[in-house]
A and B are shown apart, each in its own frame.
Chain A
Amino acid sequence: MSRSDWEVVIGLEIHAQLNTASKIFSGASTAFGAPPNEQACAIDIALPGTLPVLNRGAVERAIRFGLALGARVAPKSVFARKNYFYPDLPGGYQISQFELPVVQGGAITIWVGEGENAYEKSVRLTRAHLEEDAGKSLHEDFHGMSGIDLNRAGMPLLEIVSEPDMRSSAEAVAYARALHALVRWINICDGNMQEGSFRCDANVSVRKKGTQPLGTRREIKNLNSFRFLQQAIDYETGWQIETLEDGGRFEQSTVLFDPATGQTRMMRSKEDAHDYRYFPNPDLLPLVIEPEWIEQVRATMPELPAAMKSRFERELGLSAQDASALTSAKEVADYFQAALAATGDVHAKLCANWVMGELAARLNRASLEIASAPVSPPQLAGLLLRIADGSISNAIARKVFEALWNNEGKDADDIIERQGLKQVTDNSAIEAMVDEAIAANPKSVEEFRAGKEKALNALVGQVMKVSRGKANPAQVNELMRRRLGI
């Protein structure tokens, strides 16, 4: 048996922290980075007698999510208590939705891989439910004790549970990325993974290809980057296959991923078989969402990535892959649409190439987000217009782009004018440069005449160099051939 005889089955549970101003059940601030316990109010530290009251903003964000996924927004959902003891859980129970979650079903289309092997796939969601986050245990040593910070206790979370529809770590990452883009797109979560605003748990099991029943799964907890998600799943998959091939077995369990070693390991705190004793929280009445509320929220929804993607294909003639890339994040789509609009909506393909090509690469080198790109969409549009009308070559365009990036002029025309980069199309001026090049490179001329086609490139290149790129390469080529009598 080899690894290729096995199939991995992956389901993800993603915790997206909702970007409300206050916590899900209290009026404490959700701002990141406060000193320990300064944002833990009487309710968050579970003082006796305190009671939770549900935040409307958190519910509204759950509705937005449900609408974005074409899911059912439950007209009635219930908050339960999940009972267990842990020092970062002040009440001794987590308030979460259990039997009746607020969002039920739904699906998201993901784009897996790159280039020719890329493919589309739909991943189904089981549910998404509202719950409160727990605090943090800090393991630095305080006289051999742990410190508990409850600022995060009560932060609003949407736990998004997928069906076990993914068959590779690449699919899992593509799904996580798609959801990450979506929650930011609909502005319910800031997506900041370093700050823990978007965390993944992966349920991984393997089975022999062609078999139906799911294997024993292990849950990898708290993966806070896409890279770790991929590494953890790959390691876990390999471990499970090896274990089974060696005739071993393992229990359903929860494991942690150690980024330092790239391995997963069992959690050390082995809870006696969890029995969470879920029951409806008697402090909270059922959450009822009237159809009118859903319609109000629907009216404020932006065009969603899937709809935008098909519009780009249909109306702009972009390829599915280009359209998918341009709608992979709200900010990218916003930039693209603004730039395209500034060109007068006529150069979609060119615009797409530049946004995903030169701009993306430059942003990547500078570690910048597109929203803070130094070249604004209208500036890029100005550049594209000059390319389109033949004023500048692609090579010059890249120079102009760099100049715009470095704020050397207010727009492309300004830079082209100031730096004299306008393409030279005057035949006589080019002829003079061609003659100069022929005179200065007799060797190349000889080689070319002897049938070495490549030598022509050297001569053309010489002209381009002399013209500092401004000569129209096609024109140079044609004149060169004519002068050499071919």
Chain B
Amino acid sequence: MPLSNEEVARLARLARLSIPDGSADATRKQLDSIFVLMTQLQSVDTTGIEPMSHPQELPARLREDAVTETNRRATFQAIAPQAEAGLYLVPKVIE
């Protein structure tokens, strides 16, 4: 079930990656070979098998509702690409 270049472009859009013009074919071919490997999964009948999303199938441990964090904005924003007036700056967000 080989992918089309359009499908690869759709995945890239969803993942916010840009595939440079000219490498689309190469990317698609490599992904195809990965999907060939992954398609081996379809060889097994798993009817009735419960999916396992976690190695330890335990219930969640809950945290008590208490404030434990203090303000560390200055430290966090010291490593921000662009921050001002306590805000992270990004290209204009349009709703």
The reply, when asked whether chain A contacts chain B directly with Cβ atoms under 8 A, is yes
* Neighbouring A residues of B58 by C-beta, 8 Å: 285
Q: Give how many B residues have a beta carbon under 8 Å from the other chain's beta carbons.
A: 38
CB <8 Å contact, B93 and A139: yes
Q: Chain B residues near A76 (CB, 8 Å)?
A: 59
CA of A122 to CA of B15, assembled, Å = 43
Partner of A28, one of B53, B61, B69: B69
Answer whether residue B82 sits at the interface, using C-beta atoms and an 8 A cutoff.
yes
CA distance A285 to B89 in the complex (A): 34
Contacts A56-B65, A58-B65 given; indicate if A146 touches B93 (C-beta within 8 A). Answer: yes
Would you call A35 an interface residue if the criterion is a C-beta within 8 Å of the partner chain's C-beta atoms?
yes
Complex Cα spacing A142 to B84, Å: 8
Interface of A, helix, strand, loop or mixed by DSSP: loop
Known A-B contacts A28-B67, A87-B88; the reply to A54 vs B60 at CB < 8 A is: yes
Q: In B67-90, which residues have CB < 8 Å from any A CB?
A: 67-69, 71-73, 76-77, 82, 84-90
User: Would A37 and B76 count as touching, CB distance under 8 A?
Assistant: yes
Is B13 an interface residue when CB atoms closer than 8 A count as contact? yes
> Is B94 part of the binding interface, using a Cβ–Cβ cutoff of 8 Å?
yes
User: A145–B60 contact, CB under 8 A?
Assistant: no
> With A148-B89, A149-B87, A280-B53 given, is the CB distance from A27 to B62 under 8 Å?
no
Contacts of A287 in B (CB 8 A): 59-60
Selected from A35, A59, A269, the residue in CB contact (under 8 A) with B62 is A59
| Residues of A contacting B64 in the complex (Cβ-Cβ under 8 angstroms) | 56-57
Q: Mark B20-64, 1 if CB is under 8 A from A, else 0.
A: 000000000000000000000000000000000110111111111
- List residues of chain B with CB under 8 Å of any chain A CB: 10, 13-14, 16, 53-54, 56-69, 71-73, 76-77, 82, 84-95
Residue contacts A-B, CB under 8 angstroms, 13 given: A21-B67, A22-B66, A37-B73, A38-B71, A59-B62, A85-B16, A137-B90, A146-B89, A149-B87, A150-B88, A268-B94, A272-B14, A288-B59
